[in-house]
Amino acid sequence: MTTAQLAARLGVSQPRVVAIEKAEAKKAITLDSLERAAQALDCRLVYTLVPRKPLEELAEDRAKAEARKRLQSTSHSMALEAQSVTGADEEEQLKRLTKRLLEKAGSDLWEDDE
């Protein structure tokens, strides 16, 4: 389809179609423009965000990072008091806290405390 043909379907000028194509190439096109173009081409616009990993894995990674952060301050205090625990115990604590965080998971899991 030529830009002139698409312009006719959209009810705009041919230079406007060229401008729309340039905006799309620059990633500056609006959703409204995409929706109108889709309708003109007898298509439907699908706008979606696709996670790079499965959602379960994302949640587990986040819970583990939060658990590490929480355990780190406790671990530091215990080490200062000569009460540090073994690596195996730390790993077990990390697993348990991660599991607890996942079980109660909600929007708090995604809160950034910075």
Nearest-angstrom CA–CA distance, 92 and 81: 21
Whether the predicted model's global pTM rises above the 0.85 cut: no
Model confidence over 40-89: pLDDT tens digits?
Answer: 999 999 999 999 999 899 999 999 998 888 888 766 555 555 555 556 78
Nearest-angstrom CA–CA distance, 42 and 47: 16
Q: Say which DSSP state 46 is in.
A: -
What residue segments make up the domains of the chain, in order of their start?
3-40, 55-110
The reported pLDDT for the residue numbered 71 is 85
Residues 6+ positions from 75 with CB-CB distance below 8 Å = 84, 85, 90
